[in-house]
Amino acid sequence: MTTHDTPSPASASMALDIIGTIESCYPDKFGIPRQPGLAPSATAVLRLKAPFDHPDCVRGLEQFSHLWISFIFHQSPERWTPLVRPPRLGGNARVGVFASRSTHRPNRLGLSLVELAGIEYDPAPTLLLRGHDLVDATPVVDIKPYLPWADSVENASAGFAPEPPPQLDVRLSDDCQRTLSERPDGASLGALIRQVLSQDPRPAYRRDKRDDRGYGVRLHDLDVRFHVETDNHGHGHESVIVVDSLVPRT
């Protein structure tokens, strides 16, 4: 995909260059938190591709702690609808696609604020990212440094999503803890598992009732198997995510 000729204002569309690709701790979409920052331990590598991989392109970027990543929802269909059903509203109520952060949208463009954990040169620069919400192989079309004084607005109103989604408690089985204790990355992986599962990745319609199913979320090289235990008491119910086992992916 290349664009070099600036299109006339009349032309209805433009092509974009892919400047790099994400290598993510999330092999699948299922289980990825709905926004960046919800799982701060999520890691990714952004590999830039020629001609955008010249070290000059990122000169000075290391001075910034956070970046805006503009990317393509490449696993979403091109078709879109004017109204979408945000999971935050239980999948029932509908809002305008431009009033949402839906993955099904015109141009399939996504925007995520991520932490820049470092830059490695071999000699092309590779960006080390944390706290992202991107599936493996996501194509990136731009990178911008985050400017808190310009990019964050105190007391801004955020409609139907005024605060982060509610979190559930996560309990790791003895088997799961044993597996983690045998891994050099056990501590960071344990933190990632808790952060991701506390978002309750199950579909919204499965949440408000007894659910005896087993689930699996793939993180790094593992299939994280879990189920949900729900305690019903006088004034409602409380759900806890129980991680049963960590199965190496084949």
Q: Which residues bind ligand SAM (CB under 6 A)?
A: 29, 32-36, 73-76, 101, 103, 110-112, 133-135, 138
Least distance to ligand SAM from the beta carbon of 49, Å? 16
Give 69 or 222: the residue with its C-beta nearer to ligand SAM: 69
Quick one: DSSP state of residue 8? P
CB 211 within 8 A of CB 167: no
Least distance to ligand SAM from the beta carbon of 237, Å? 25
Give 71 or 226: the residue with its C-beta nearer to ligand SAM: 71
Residue 188 CA to residue 141 CA, distance in Å, equals: 29
Give 65 or 75: the residue with its C-beta nearer to ligand SAM: 75
Least distance to ligand SAM from the beta carbon of 25, Å? 12
Give 43 or 138: the residue with its C-beta nearer to ligand SAM: 138
The three state secondary structure string of 117-166 is EEEEECCCEEEEEECCCCCCCCEEEEEEECCHHHHCCCCCCCCCCCCCCC
Least distance to ligand SAM from the beta carbon of 234, Å? 34
> Rounded to whole angstroms, what are the CA distances from 66 to 5, 137, 143, 248?
32, 21, 10, 32
